[in-house]
Amino acid sequence: MDRETRALAEKHFRGLGARLPDGVCGPPGRVDFIEKPDAFSYADFFKGYLLPNVPCVFSSAFTEGWGSRKHWVTPDGKPDLDYLLRKRHGCTCCQLRSAGIQRQPQGAHAPQRVHQLLERVHPGKLFLSQGLPLPQRLAPVQPMCGSLHRDTSVEDVYSLPVYFSSDWLNEYWDAINVDDYRFIYMGPTGTWSPFHADIFRSFSWSVNICGRKKWLLFPPGQEEALRDCHGSLPYDVTSPTLLDVRLHPACARCSPPLEVTQEAGEMLFVPSGWHHQVHNLVIMKSCTGINYKEFYHFLKVIAERRILTLAKEMGAGTVGSVGDSRLGTQQAAFDVSRITEVLASLVANRDFQRVDTSTFSLQPEELLQQLEEVVTATAAL
Ligand SMILES: O=C(O)CCC(=O)C(=O)O
Ligand SMILES: [Fe+2]
């Protein structure tokens, strides 16, 4: 930390004590995305996010060199369970905190090797978090959570990002050599971690080794409005029971959470006191068996066939042999409008934007424009 940052931080905390009650911070409308490691200093993070206590997402460029990202993931983006099993992950000991299958009382977790944990997990996702354990309330929907003890004899699993280098909790636990707050979560699509805030109001950070997660983030204090009539916090903030005003009388006062979709390799900063709920999403490649390039090609083929069908039906002249007129005009027009929407979101997708499209016979933006023109032309059909 430089002098100026320290002076600002100290002033901030003196001012905060005097002006702002504990936990009040103006929630931002969206979460910033930090693209380039070179252009983002410790002071930038400290002043822009840590002090104001607001979340941010770091691009996958920040974790590019990590051994876990290189070795634990298959080329098509799935967890490489064979590798992890084969490796037995050296002597790395992994304590299973929670398993989706059964309840384990607090403190009664037998340490397990990583491979023992892997043998119990479905091919799914792998995430690495530093900061907190989850509450020990378990449901069949939760991902597994293991605590990874670093062992210098094994591959370099991760390197601590400079932004989180002053981590009192882990420093303390390391110093007394008892335990730590470094966790690996693993779970297939559909598993989720219940609503909670991290231990001792700590901040935390979390990286997806592979897979995608959806985070629902509530600024400090918002959780008060979510309490039920007995004063308890909800287990699942997406449950329809929250809409029942008799059960959750103050719920209407709670603003919607900040929603973050965290992609593979990206790192999320979860500030202190922010409650959150985390859902494991589909791995695009593993779910559909195709990657972005193939998915674009798939959309393009169907789009061209539907456009041909419409051209034929509307007597526009150029009739190809591939258009299937049995579909009918309405179905073709409907499909075109759906494809347009899907393609628009694909074109806006950050991962897709990184795909090299120079060899594509038709650029995605051009196809999108053509589709939009067809949608306009066929709207009144
Ligand atoms: O990824 C999860 O399932 C939970 C992670 C979490 O709560 C955290 O890192 O703070
Ligand atoms: Fe958490």
Q: Where are the chain's structural domains?
A: 25-222+260-283, 225-256, 290-378
Cβ-proximal residues to 127 (8 Å cutoff; 6+ apart), any chain: 143, 184, 185, 186, 206, 207, 208, 209, 211, 213
Place 274 in a pLDDT band, splitting at 50, 70 and 90: very high
**CB distance 31 to 55 below 8 Å:** yes
Ligand 1 close to Cβ of residue 31 (< 6 A): no
Looking from the CA of residue 127, the nearest atom of ligand 1 is 1
Residue 355, pLDDT above cutoff 60: yes
The pLDDT of residue 89 is 52
What proportion of the chain, given as a percentage, has pLDDT over 70?
71
Single-letter amino acid, residue 308: L
The pLDDT of residue 201 is 79
The pLDDT of residue 124 is 41
How far separated are the first and last CA of the chain, in Å rounded? 64
What proportion of the chain, given as a percentage, has pLDDT over 90?
36
- What phi and psi, each to the nearest 5 degrees, are found at residue 347? -65, -30
Place 315 in a pLDDT band, splitting at 50, 70 and 90: confident
Cβ-proximal residues to 75 (8 Å cutoff; 6+ apart), any chain: none
d(CA 361, CA 85): 42
Q: Which regions of 103-198 does DSSP assign to beta strands (E)?
A: 111-113, 125-130, 144-148, 182-187, 192-196
d(CA 190, CA 100): 12
d(CA 203, CA 195): 15
Residue 138, pLDDT above cutoff 60: no
Ligand 1 close to Cβ of residue 5 (< 6 A): no
Residue 367, pLDDT above cutoff 90: yes
Residue 140, pLDDT above cutoff 80: no
Ligand 1 close to Cβ of residue 148 (< 6 A): no
Per-residue pLDDT tens over the stretch 72-122: 898 888 888 888 777 655 434 444 444 333 333 333 344 455 555 555 544
Ligand 1 close to Cβ of residue 100 (< 6 A): no
Considering the four listed CATH numbers 2.60.120.650, 3.10.105.10, 3.40.50.2300, 3.40.1190.20, the one that applies to the domain covering 25-222+260-283 is: 2.60.120.650
The pLDDT of residue 122 is 41
For residues 160-187, average pLDDT: 76
The pLDDT of residue 181 is 72
Q: pTM score > 0.85 for this model?
A: no
For residues 238-264, average pLDDT: 92
Residue 369, pLDDT above cutoff 70: yes
Per-residue pLDDT tens over the stretch 23-81: 444 556 789 999 999 999 999 999 999 989 999 999 999 999 999 999 989 888 888 88
Ligand 1 close to Cβ of residue 129 (< 6 A): yes
Residue by residue, DSSP assigns 224-263 as: HHH--TTSPPPS-TT-GGGG-TTTSTTGGGSPPPEEEEEP
Of the candidates 38, 33, 56, which has an alpha carbon nearest to the alpha carbon of residue 353? 33
User: In a 3-state reduction of DSSP, which class is residue 141?
Assistant: coil
CA of 274 to the centre of ligand 2 (A): 9
Pocket test for ligand 1, best of 97, 127, 138 (most atoms within 8 A of CB): 127
Which ligand gives the minimal distance to the CA of 127?
1
Tokens read off for 59: 């691009």
Tokens read off for 150: 């670093």
The pLDDT of residue 93 is 43
- As a whole number, the mean pLDDT across the chain is 77
d(CA 329, CA 88): 57
- What phi and psi, each to the nearest 5 degrees, are found at residue 122? -75, 155
The pLDDT of residue 259 is 95
